[in-house]
Structure 1
Amino acid sequence: MHSLLTRLRPAWLCHVPTCLLCRAPGGDLSICASCEAELPWLGGHCSICALPLVTHGLPCGDCLKRPPPFQRVEAPWRYAFPVDSLITRFKHQSHWPLGRLLGELLTRHLEHGFSEGLPRPAALLPVPLAAPRLRQRGFNQALMLARWLGDELDIPLRSDWLKRIEDGPPQQGLDAAARRRNLRRAFALAPGVDVRGQHLALVDDVLTTGTTAAALARLLVRAGAERVDVYCLARTPRPGEP
């Protein structure tokens, strides 16, 4: 009887996910197996900051010389085509279904990491936007990602713990030194927030030089956080590297 009802079900009730990249029938997510396989998966990378490397499981030279205040970066992809285009359309053109798809794939990546021994954080903290930029864009893409991750992974979202108190020029296009100067005194913990002894994870879309993540992680560690990780969609290679 069940199979008969299935055959008789109207076509409009039989929803088959469509790949958002090529429009072919997708799988359980809105991406087909072929397009998913062709995404720029990270592969070898630094065991701390996730910088793309030839080797796997070792820290890069920068992390050895100057260990960052965060413990580990988790990112599924290199910032390369088509992921770079998908993130841009999500972030700057409000193509939220693309962001949701990337968030679902990041969820899978993290679930696999947790099954392999990656410690689960006590809370997710989205990287905050300054009020003028939030008004201009209309939404915070890091907050949207963190909300999707929190719902799927059953990890509490603390969207009001971190505040952007100074709004300098956009980080994009600045070199590492300028990024660090731009972020001095840019962030603060909300009054009354106690992070002592907690394992926390910052959520953002892309990790480039890591200066924003480092500034926020340093703030949390100085406030007593036991561990800070970073969850993002993509990691950029060094300038000039493919």
Structure 2
Amino acid sequence: MRCQPENPHQVYNWLKNKQACLLCDEPADAATAICTNCEAELPWLGGHCQRCALPLPDSGLTCGGCLRNPPSFERVEAPWRYAFPVDSLITRFKHQAKWPMGRLLGELLSQHLLHAFDEGLPRPDLLLPVPLAGRRQRQRGFNQALMLAQWLSTALQLPWQDAWLQRVIDTPAQQQLDAATRKRNLRRAFALAPQSRVAGLHLALVDDVLTTGATAESLARLLRKAGAARVDVYCLARTPKPGD
């Protein structure tokens, strides 16, 4: 770290700061806090469902779940499978307030999305972070989805709005629940604020992990019923099917 030693009120000089990789502590090769070797070894998603991003043996396929019951969202964009070390980074970001780890993942997600836009993915009009249950937000002190949306907004030059989606029922934590229980938990859990204006807009929900897709489906259905033209989902990681 370089400061200004001649100044009695020392100021951190970001321009002269040399980043270290957050995974191996070796010097980072670029502006992001990860070295080339560690970035290459992240659990990149690879083949996946072109609708919900479920990991599959090949790209360009649609999973059986999306064929039987097409979701209300159009497409999920996620760079990684929910596996080590991404799962550890996300957990430390969410539950231990290790914000630099979240910021690193958010920067890499923005790079992924910029590449997807170049490849033809339509740019949304607005980013909407998934709202966190009030009790958990008070315990945690922040909403990780909102922080991701703010970082993505800067990198992608897209506006964000955190007042339109509301969590009106404080549902139990979803992590250890199966898909059916998650869906039951989320019935009537969300609502649109009276001032929301989603009609005709292409919206992108922002969250950290997509597991069963129950939360994304509930919110996307709500937005589509209110007139949204399209809903996509941007997240850091997608979980595989149990047992895969």
TM-score range, shorter chain: over 0.9
Deviations 1:28-65 (A, max 9, x none): 21000000000000000000000000010111011001
Tell me the secondary structure at the aligned position of residue 88 of structure 1: helix
> What aligned pairs does 1:192-203 form with structure 2 within 5 A after superposition?
192-203=195-206
| Residue aligning to 2:20 | 18
Q: Tell whether 2:182 aligns with 1:179.
A: yes
- Aligned partner of 1:64: which letter? L
Asked whether 1:170 is paired with 2:173, we answer yes
The residue identity in structure 1 corresponding to 2:60 is: G
Q: 1:6: which partner in 2?
A: none
Q: How does 1:61-140 map to 2 (within 5 A)?
A: 61-140=64-143
Letter in 1 for 2:136: R
Identity of matched residues, %: 70
Q: CA separation in 2, counterparts of 1:110 and 1:133? A: 29
Residue number in structure 1 paired with 2:210: 207
Partner of 1:188: 191
State the partner residue of 2:222.
219
Measured after TM superposition, the shift of residue 14 of structure 1 is 3.6
What is the deviation of 1:192? Answer: 2.3
Distance 1:192 1:69, change over 3 A: same
Counterpart in the other structure of 2:9:
none
CA RMSD between the two structures:
1.2
Aligned CA distance change for structure 1 residues 12 and 194 (closer, same or farther; 3 Å):
closer
CA distance in structure 2 between the partners assigned to 1:212 and 1:14 by the alignment: 42
TM norm structure 1: 0.94
Cα 1:151–1:177 shift into 2, 3 Å = same
Distance 1:64 1:154 in 2: 34
Name the CA distance, whole Å, in 2 between partners of 1:148 and 1:205: 13
Matched residues in 2 for 1:193 and 1:50: separation?
A: 28
Asked if the contact 2:164–2:195 (Cα under 8 Å) also holds between the matched residues in 1, the reply is no
- 2:6 alignment partner in structure 1: none
Give deviations 1:59-100, integer Å, cap 9, x for gaps.
101100100000000000000000000000000000000000
Q: C-alpha separation between the residues in 2 aligned to 1:163 and 1:69?
A: 18
Stretches of structure 1 that go unaligned for 5 or more consecutive residues are: 1-10
Structure 1 stretches (4+) deviating beyond 6 angstroms? none
Q: Measure the CA separation in 2 of the matches of 1:12 and 1:135.
A: 32
Query: Counterpart of 1:104 in structure 2: which amino acid?
Result: E
Q: Structure 2 length normalisation: TM-score?
A: 0.93
Partners of 2:131 and 2:17 lie apart in 1 by: 36
Stretches of structure 2 that go unaligned for 5 or more consecutive residues are 1-12
